[in-house]
């Protein structure tokens, strides 16, 4: 589970609620017509922009922002180096007995143990990465679309409230509720867009880049194993994918193990 996403959503929601309660009654900020306009309008616009399967699929994609914890690149490197040692000692066919932690690694090892040539391995694995990027982009675009639509429908609600207020200026008792709709819909749209939809889209983009990095490491390792590269050379070549801090930490851990 990604604690950063949970902490961000919970803390943001709590801060908004606390500021509302401190300023007065929280019930004042509950307006059913305003919610219907913003939430209903945002969902309607989303279904117009995307297909039904894209919208439903984006829900499962969004769960990655909350539940999926990405494997650290250095752990992927260590695992692939271990597979290299096995391949050097027992041959590529021995890799079919291994059980990697990542489904993409399972696919790469299967290609190696089945004797696929280097070009075919690289082509099939890179194609998998490209298709993954397309699927992730669709989920990100759904939430970006929600982030764009929510403030727009907040403005629609504001205009509706102002029209209602101007149409009933002769009745002072109706001015307050009309102004509530006008102002609260803008608030609802801003909160949905900036606390939920857009941050989730950005987190999904981050998750996609992290997964792309891990898979790129696996592809490079699979090609190197197929070429018969030594474990030490492979480890050094894969460390290029790490940040300087991660590289230094990995080297410290290696020295400590020795």
**Would you put residue 30 in left (φ > 0), alpha (ψ -120 to 50) or beta?**
beta
Q: Which structure tokens are listed for 95?
A: 């890799």
Q: Which structure tokens are listed for 31?
A: 């307006």
Residue entry with tokens 């909160």: 191
148 φ, ψ (degrees, to nearest 5): -80, -35
Query: Cα–Cα distance between 47 and 192 in angstroms, integer?
Result: 17
Q: Domain ranges in the chain?
A: 1-30, 31-73+119-257
Tens-level pLDDT at each residue, the chain (258 residues): 677 888 888 899 999 888 888 877 777 788 888 899 999 999 999 999 999 988 888 887 777 667 777 788 888 999 999 999 999 899 999 888 888 888 899 999 999 999 898 899 999 999 999 998 888 888 899 999 999 999 999 999 888 888 877 777 777 776 777 777 778 899 999 999 999 999 999 988 988 898 999 999 999 999 999 998 998 899 888 888 888 777 777 666 655 544
Residue entry with tokens 């597979």: 83
Q: Which structure tokens are listed for 126?
A: 């890179």
């Amino acid at each position: 589970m990604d604690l950063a996403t949970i902490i961000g959503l919970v803390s943001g929601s709590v801060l908004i609620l606390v500021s509302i309660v401190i300023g007065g009654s929280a019930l004042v900020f509950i307006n059913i017509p305003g919610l219907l306009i913003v939430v209903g309008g945002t969902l309607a616009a989303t279904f117009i922009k995307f297909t039904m399967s894209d919208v439903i699929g984006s829900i499962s994609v969004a769960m990655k922002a909350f539940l999926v914890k990405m494997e650290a690149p250095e752990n992927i490197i260590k695992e692939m180096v271990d597979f290299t040692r096995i391949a050097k000692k027992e041959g590529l066919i021995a890799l079919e007995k291994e059980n990697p932690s990542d489904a993409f690694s399972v696919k790469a090892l299967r290609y190696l143990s089945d004797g696929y040539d280097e070009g075919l391995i690289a082509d099939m694995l890179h194609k998998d990465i490209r298709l993954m990027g397309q699927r992730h982009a669709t989920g990100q675009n759904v939430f970006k679309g929600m982030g764009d639509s929510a403030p727009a429908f907040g403005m629609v609600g504001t205009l509706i409230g102002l029209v209602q207020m101007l149409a009933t200026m002769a009745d002072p008792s109706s001015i307050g509720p009309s102004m509530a709709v006008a102002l609260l819909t803008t608030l609802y749209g801003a909160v949905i867009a900036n606390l939920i939809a857009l941050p989730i889209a950005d987190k999904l983009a981050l998750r996609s880049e992290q997964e792309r990095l891990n898979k790129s490491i696996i592809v490079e390792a699979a090609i190197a194993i197929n070429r018969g590269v030594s474990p030490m050379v492979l480890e050094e070549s894969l460390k290029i994918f790490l940040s300087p801090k991660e590289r230094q930490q990995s080297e410290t851990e290696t020295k400590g193990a020795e």
